């Protein structure tokens, strides 16, 4: 592990701990769409900047690992968003991932870190660092969009009753 990947690992760990802690307990879902995209887009932006700053030239192996990582991130985001629990309380919407969502997130992280390890062994540095942040951001953005969609449908059903 190089010195440059240590800060990335610490950022990913801090983000994962914060997100898991927030999403395991019931949290009010902000009515603003900014709540859905703000954090994940910041992560994606930082990851893209790191890839750009490292002057990465993409080989076929780089692209393959990036595509696999993105696919895993999106599938896990959809799955964890679908199993998330959404409730309406006193006119406000609350959500949490619960244990099934936590299991999906843990499986996603194990697979994604495994891809980073494979990339490291193959000498494909793009699978680490910024790509981890882009992948995590894409996962959280997808998950948040699914949860927001569930909340919107719940609010629509509530107003039609």
User: Does 132 map to a domain?
Assistant: yes
| Mean pLDDT of all residues belonging to the chain | 82
Please report the pLDDT score of residue 1 as a whole number. 44
Q: How many CB atoms lie within 10 A of CB 144?
A: 24
Backbone angle region of 59, left / alpha / beta, with phi > 0 → left and psi within -120 to 50 → alpha = beta
Give the model confidence (pLDDT) of 45-86 as tens digits: 988 888 777 666 778 888 888 899 999 999 999 999 999 998
> Nearest to residue 28, comparing CAs of 87, 93, 82?
93
User: Does 128 map to a domain?
Assistant: yes
User: Does 122 map to a domain?
Assistant: yes
Number of folded domains that form the chain: 1
User: Does 103 map to a domain?
Assistant: yes
User: Does 93 map to a domain?
Assistant: yes
Please report the pLDDT score of residue 161 as a whole number. 62
* Full residue range of the structural domain in which residue 148 is found: 5-152
User: Does 88 map to a domain?
Assistant: yes
User: Does 140 map to a domain?
Assistant: yes
């Amino acid at each position: 592990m190089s010195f440059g990947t240590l800060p990335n690992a610490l950022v990913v760990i801090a983000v994962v701990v914060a997100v898991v802690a927030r999403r395991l307990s019931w949290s009010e879902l902000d009515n603003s769409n900014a709540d859905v995209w703000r954090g994940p887009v910041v992560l994606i932006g930082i990851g893209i900047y790191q890839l750009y700053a490292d002057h990465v030239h993409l080989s076929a192996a780089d692209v393959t690992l990036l595509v696999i990582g993105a696919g895993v991130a999106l599938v896990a985001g959809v799955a964890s968003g679908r199993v998330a629990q959404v409730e309406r309380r006193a006119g406000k919407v609350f959500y949490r991932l619960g244990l099934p969502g936590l299991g999906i997130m843990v499986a996603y992280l194990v697979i994604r870190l495994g891809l980073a390890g494979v990339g490291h062994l193959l000498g494909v540095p793009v699978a680490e660092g910024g790509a981890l942040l882009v992948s995590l951001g894409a996962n959280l953005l997808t998950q948040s969009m699914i949860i927001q969609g569930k909340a919107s449908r719940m609010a629509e059903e509530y107003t039609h009753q």
